Copies of this chain bind each other. A is one copy, B any other.
């Protein structure tokens, strides 16, 4: 069980360190090796996804990532920016299925900007396609035309790309409340009309799952209006980028939300849904729980260790119940701790 650990930038090293401690405490035989990704990788090698990292990541069964990016790399040319490293590893490892849960922990209900009755018990899984769409479509660029610049990108999906993410979403829905909402913009975009057609075709394989369709603008509204109507949502890379961030913010505690990005053999990259938070990097105050929960997803999806995954998830629930809080989720009457102390608490709960 080989894990490639990519601490990345900003708070990345601090939070991955705690997730690594948790994994190591489980008495399983993980082989872990660290490598560079993102801004730190650019600084050291000139490449945000260096060859040494590529080799290690390809050989590993799973990748644990902290976060990438920071203001000091914002002015670099596109191909050297930290997020190129992230897009690069996703594409290189063929991690087409991005699973992003948006779960509201009862202890953290106050953190949401939405009224308690609207979000209490929220538990949505967003399945976002991650290696296609306008993110990678060709042609793309900026050209001169009639004496002015014209920028262009291509949204593109093939039937087989839609089908494979569709199967992942239907199967996820089967394990949950058996409701799948596919999000598109079929009234305007032919590409997403094909998306809808293919979803309808594969629905025949899952008679136990109730498939619905929603236009992306309406989905953005419904997430605000009545988010608990959703169980699993499936959508393309671009719409998924927007809707999964919107959904995660409904909880008000994005420091709690993990994610998994899988290929078709359950190899996966696991990372928190939040960013690299350069403003608090190195201070030892970042919340490591999203990364620890990402490690739990790794146990479940890549290694098939459902029981161990649940153990970690329950330990996280326990530390919340015990009142431990990092600054981002702190409220009066709870016990404010730093990154490492939070890791200690999870280890103790295990």
Q: How large is the interface on A (under 10, 10 to 19, 20 to 34, 35 or more residues)?
A: 35 or more
Query: In the complex the two chains form, what is the Cα distance from A118 to B224 in whole Å?
Result: 13
Residue-wise, chain A 266-295 has the 8 Å CB interface mask toward B (1 for contact) of 000000000000000000000000000000
Query: A169 at the A/B interface (Cβ < 8 Å)?
Result: no
Q: Which A residues from 228 to 254 make CB contacts under 8 A with B?
A: 238-239, 241-246, 248-250, 252, 254
Query: In the complex the two chains form, what is the Cα distance from A135 to B217 in whole Å?
Result: 14
Task: List B contacts of A221 (CB < 8 A).
Answer: 245-246, 248-249, 254
Give the distance to chain B from A333, nearest Cβ to Cβ, in Å: 19
Query: In the complex the two chains form, what is the Cα distance from A241 to B189 in whole Å?
Result: 13
Give the distance to chain B from A322, nearest Cβ to Cβ, in Å: 27
Residue-wise, chain A 65-79 has the 8 Å CB interface mask toward B (1 for contact) of 000000000000010
Q: Is the CB of B156 within 8 A of A155?
A: no
Query: In the complex the two chains form, what is the Cα distance from A226 to B249 in whole Å?
Result: 10
Q: Is the CB of A135 within 8 A of B190?
A: no
Q: Is the CB of A151 within 8 A of B114?
A: no
Q: Is the CB of B190 within 8 A of A217?
A: no
Query: In the complex the two chains form, what is the Cα distance from A225 to B249 in whole Å?
Result: 7
Q: Is the CB of A151 within 8 A of B191?
A: yes
Query: In the complex the two chains form, what is the Cα distance from A78 to B194 in whole Å?
Result: 13
Q: Which A residues from 58 to 117 make CB contacts under 8 A with B?
A: 78, 81, 83, 87, 113-115
Query: In the complex the two chains form, what is the Cα distance from A81 to B185 in whole Å?
Result: 14
Query: A16 at the A/B interface (Cβ < 8 Å)?
Result: no
Our pick among B87, B148, B155 for the contact of A153 (Cβ within 8 Å) is: B155
Known contacts A220-B245, A221-B248; decide if A155 and B157 are in contact (CB<8 Å): no
Q: Which A residues from 143 to 160 make CB contacts under 8 A with B?
A: 145, 148-160
Known contacts A118-B113, A216-B242, A248-B221; decide if A150 and B140 are in contact (CB<8 Å): no
Give the distance to chain B from A97, nearest Cβ to Cβ, in Å: 18
Our pick among B153, B226, B250 for the contact of A189 (Cβ within 8 Å) is: B153
Task: List B contacts of A195 (CB < 8 A).
Answer: 151
Give the distance to chain B from A165, nearest Cβ to Cβ, in Å: 14
Query: A142 at the A/B interface (Cβ < 8 Å)?
Result: yes
Residue-wise, chain A 311-343 has the 8 Å CB interface mask toward B (1 for contact) of 000000000000000000000000000000000
Choose among A153, A223, A252 the residue with the greatest number of B CB atoms under 10 Å from its CB: A153
Task: List B contacts of A191 (CB < 8 A).
Answer: 140, 142, 151-153
Give me 24 A-to-B residue pairs in the complex whose CB atoms sit less than 8 angstroms apart, sorted by A's number: A81-B187, A113-B226, A114-B114, A134-B155, A134-B188, A135-B188, A137-B152, A140-B189, A140-B190, A140-B191, A148-B159, A148-B160, A151-B157, A151-B194, A152-B157, A153-B156, A217-B245, A220-B220, A220-B242, A220-B243, A221-B254, A223-B246, A224-B224, A225-B249
